[in-house]
Amino acid sequence: MIFHYPNGKPYQPKAQVEQKKQKTLTYSNRGMILEDDLNETNKYYLENNLAVIHKKPTPVQIVNVDYPRRSAAVIKEAYFKQSSTTDYNGIYRGKYIDFEAKETKNKTSFPLQNFHEHQIVHMENVLHQGGICFVILSAFNEIYFLEAQHLLTFWKRQEAGGRKSFTYNELIEIGYKIPLGYQARIDYLKIIDKLYF
């Protein structure tokens, strides 16, 4: 016999629910978990008047829309208008903030192929204008804050024929581990305070 909740969903024992959760957490959506945690963190910052930082929308050109009924439009075809720069930007204590969020499942190094040249150029431009630019990395089962100038050093090393990645040891030497919190889940402002203020 199957029992149903008042909303019509069938009851499932807790063990079955946990087993389903483990199956649905795949590599492809781990980046979304990082993004969700950052969005929640930024929401907390905004609601507590700490910072105004938002995820940048990806510029899209809509080409074909289907209107099955007046109240519902369905986008059938769309294209990216241009390459996006970094994931997040905003302002904190009067300074422009700009950062990218990336993750890897690699156990020993972080591949630079996760970044695109136009993102590197954008980060260089932000630094040139005096902005605070960095990367939040989900790597090696931890979260790290890496200043953009260090990423640029790794990128230049790669361009000169060197490694196409940076190692865990390099990251822990120059990066900052961010412990997961409760309200500000990935509290990167603490590191910005330490480095810039």
Pick the closest to residue 99 from 49, 151, 156, 64 (CA basis): 151
What CA–CA distance (Å, rounded) separates 105 from 25?
A: 13
Feature table: binding site? 85, 87, 100, 119
Helix (H, G, I), strand (E, B), or coil: what is residue 182? Answer: coil
The answer to whether 99 touches 134, Cβ cutoff 8 Å, is yes
For residue 165, what is the enclosing H or E element? strand 165-167
Feature table: binding site for Mg(2+)? 85, 87, 100, 119
Evaluated on CA atoms 99, 112, 194, 34, the torsion sign reads: positive
For residue 12, what is the enclosing H or E element? none
